[in-house]
Structure 1
Amino acid sequence: MLFSLVFGAEAVIPTEMVYPTARTSIRDPETNDEHLVQDLDTVEELRDQARLRIAAYQQKMVGAYNKNIRIRRFEVGDLVLLKAFQNTTNPADWKLAPKWEGPYLIEVEAGKGAYHLMNMEGDMLPRLGMQSI
């Protein structure tokens, strides 16, 4: 299928040329050029069908990926934990480093999924004060 989309003709493996199969024995060399011209007219249709199959497959993959996603909304005043990243943890702790930092208080919602956070002492978080949770 892919070969015919690229080159406009079906692929024939070398063994089919040595040992005739139904596909190679029925072929008539005189009418071969006519069939190739007719196949060129259907190449766009085959490409459109391939595009539709790819789009359907991609939508199916998006659905499979997103089925376990749960959107969480936070409100001002909620306490949250932040994921601790490798650059914020002590390298000497290695596997025993904490996975979460906090708790932090949400002071202001700064946009879609972004918040201004402050620690429990009332200081704004030093990372520009804006975190995406």
Structure 2
Amino acid sequence: MPFFMVYGSKAVLPTDLDYGAPRVKAYNEQGAKTSLEDAMDQLDEARNIALLRSAKYQQALRRYHSCHVWGRAFNVKDLVLRLVQSNKNRHKLSLSWEGPYIIVEVLYPGTYKLKFIDDKVFTNA
């Protein structure tokens, strides 16, 4: 979030104070109060602009996702790999997928009940 939106004014850097930036030299206490009131009016406008930009970004992201990411549905008896969720006792060369698993039941779209395949139990049908 920009400094202006948090504090209601533009940031003054330490180097601006040390070297006497024009904005620091032109500082006026009386003018600061009026500019603070103006800035407070601009703050609501800046928040609305940020909200609109965020909504526009979310829409573009959603549009990209729907165009470039394809959904995939699996059926019972399909073989799948599962992404390892825990990083405990892992390093960068560890495998990120485990399995294979067999889908035993489709609970609802995108959620499956898996069973680890044991060579003795698994029969290819």
The question of a shared fold, defined as TM-score above 0.5 by the shorter chain, is answered with yes
| 8 Å CA contact retained: 2:77, 2:104 | yes
What is the rounded CA distance, in whole Å, between the counterparts of 2:46 and 2:112 in structure 1? 49
Q: CA deviation at 1:59?
A: 4.0
Aligned Cα root-mean-square deviation (Å)? 3.9
Number of aligned residue pairs: 107
SS of the equivalent of 2:80 reads strand
SS of the equivalent of 1:100 reads strand
Task: Give the TM-score taking structure 2 as reference length.
Answer: 0.56
| 8 Å CA contact retained: 1:5, 1:47 | yes
Moved more, 20-29 or 40-49: 20-29
What is the rounded CA distance, in whole Å, between the counterparts of 1:31 and 1:105 in structure 2? 73
Q: CA deviation at 1:74?
A: 5.1
| 8 Å CA contact retained: 1:5, 1:43 | yes
| 8 Å CA contact retained: 1:105, 1:120 | no
What is the rounded CA distance, in whole Å, between the counterparts of 1:99 and 1:31 in structure 2? 69
Residue 111 (structure 1) aligns with = 108
- The runs of 5 or more residues in structure 2 that have no matched partner are 85-93, 115-121
Q: CA deviation at 1:16?
A: 1.4
What is the rounded CA distance, in whole Å, between the counterparts of 2:83 and 2:10 in structure 1? 53
What is the rounded CA distance, in whole Å, between the counterparts of 1:114 and 1:15 in structure 2? 57
Q: Deviations over 1:4-52 (max 9, x none)?
A: 1011111111221232223333433321111111111111111111222
Q: Deviations over 1:60-96 (max 9, x none)?
A: 4455556543223456xx752132677xxxxxxx97x
Residue correspondence of structure 1 range 42-53 to structure 2 within 5 A: 42-53=42-53
Residue 83 (structure 1) aligns with = 81
Larger Rg: 1
Task: Give the TM-score taking structure 1 as reference length.
Answer: 0.54
